[in-house]
């Protein structure tokens, strides 16, 4: 009888130890920051981790006002293009369709495309361009606004273009870079929008960020 009691007691002690170990492991895991493989980017590499994309306000293809607030707590990618471009822009847009389709059922993954030719690319032109690329409403925003503000963001907020970037002999932004932004408004990656391998890496990196920010899954 005593041996039976000791066996039961020993079993309960083992179960308790295992349960305590499991609980402690979960608490440690919960309170340990996720170590992402993705770097941070900013104007200064020494402070890149604290740098955030600056505030903005534009109008999208539906005539809706779009601000940085719409992208907070989301994972998003951004690029700069114009609808009459016959070079890199059609390739970039086609590749961004692949990004959109990879996360089409996830409202926490968004795309923001800025026109660098707002004089021509008005709301209706952007709407038709978005329809052509089967852009999902509220997921892929094509925006227009003041050219100087768009250029400023490209050069000094997303860092995808330089002040010397001029293709037409006048002030103009024309970049094939796509930037990946995390839910805390930090730049986490740059990708060649015309390169298929880079687009696949972008899709993988978005999934990596989803591990870092579970609320975006």
Same domain, 9 and 54: no
Question: Is the predicted pLDDT of residue 32 greater than 50, yes or no?
Answer: no
Same domain, 49 and 13: no
Same domain, 26 and 50: no
Q: Whole-model pTM?
A: 0.82
- Domain assignment present for 38: no
Mean pLDDT over 23-38 rounds to 54
9's CB contacts (< 8 A; 6+ apart) are none
Same domain, 12 and 58: no
Mean pLDDT over 2-20 rounds to 57
Instruction: With H, G, I as helix, E, B as strand and everything else as coil, classify residue 1.
Output: coil
Label residue 25 by pLDDT band (50, 70, 90): very low
Task: Work out how many domains the chain is built from and give that number.
Answer: 2
pLDDT confidence of residue 28: 41
Q: Which two tokens stand for residue 122?
A: 């008005």
Yes or no: say if 56 and 198 are a contact pair by the CB < 8 Å rule: no
| Full strand arrangement of the beta sheet holding 65-67 | 65-67, 57-60, 140-144, 109-115, 75-81, 177-181, 187-192
- Domain assignment present for 144: yes
Mean pLDDT over 163-187 rounds to 81
Q: 143 or 9, which is more confident?
A: 143
Same domain, 98 and 132: yes
pLDDT confidence of residue 197: 98
Q: Which of 54, 88, 58, 37 is nearest to 158 (CA)?
A: 54
Residue 162's domain comprises: 45-216
Same domain, 83 and 164: yes
CB count in 10 Å sphere of residue 205 = 19
Q: How far is CA 174 from CA 40, 139, 210, in A?
A: 23, 23, 30
pLDDT confidence of residue 37: 82
Percent pLDDT > 90 in the chain is 75
pLDDT digits (tens, 9 = 90+) for 125-166: 999 999 999 999 999 999 999 999 999 999 999 999 977 654
Question: CA-CA distance, 166 to 186, in Å (whole number)?
Answer: 27
What CATH number does the domain containing 108 carry? 3.40.30.10
pLDDT digits (tens, 9 = 90+) for 58-81: 999 999 999 999 999 999 999 999
Same domain, 62 and 142: yes
């Amino acid at each position: 009888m005593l041996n039976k009691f000791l066996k039961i007691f020993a079993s309960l002690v083992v179960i308790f130890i295992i349960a305590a170990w499991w609980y402690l492991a979960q608490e440690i895991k919960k309170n340990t920051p996720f170590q992402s493989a993705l770097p941070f980017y900013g104007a200064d590499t020494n402070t890149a981790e604290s740098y955030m994309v600056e505030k903005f306000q534009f109008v999208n293809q539906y005539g809706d006002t779009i601000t940085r607030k719409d992208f907070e707590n989301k994972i998003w990618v951004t690029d700069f293009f114009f609808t009459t471009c016959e070079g890199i822009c059609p390739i970039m847009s086609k590749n961004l369709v692949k990004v959109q389709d990879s996360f089409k059922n996830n409202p926490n993954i968004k795309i923001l495309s800025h026109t660098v030719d707002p004089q021509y690319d008005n709301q209706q032109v952007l709407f038709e361009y978005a329809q052509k690329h089967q852009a999902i409403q509220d997921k892929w925003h094509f925006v227009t606004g003041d050219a100087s503000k768009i250029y400023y963001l490209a050069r000094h907020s997303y860092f995808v273009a330089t002040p010397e970037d001029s293709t037409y002999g006048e002030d103009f932004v024309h970049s094939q870079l796509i930037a990946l932004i995390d839910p805390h408004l930090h730049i986490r990656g740059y990708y060649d929008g015309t390169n298929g391998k880079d687009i696949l890496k972008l899709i993988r990196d978005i999934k990596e960020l989803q591990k870092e920010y579970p609320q975006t899954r």
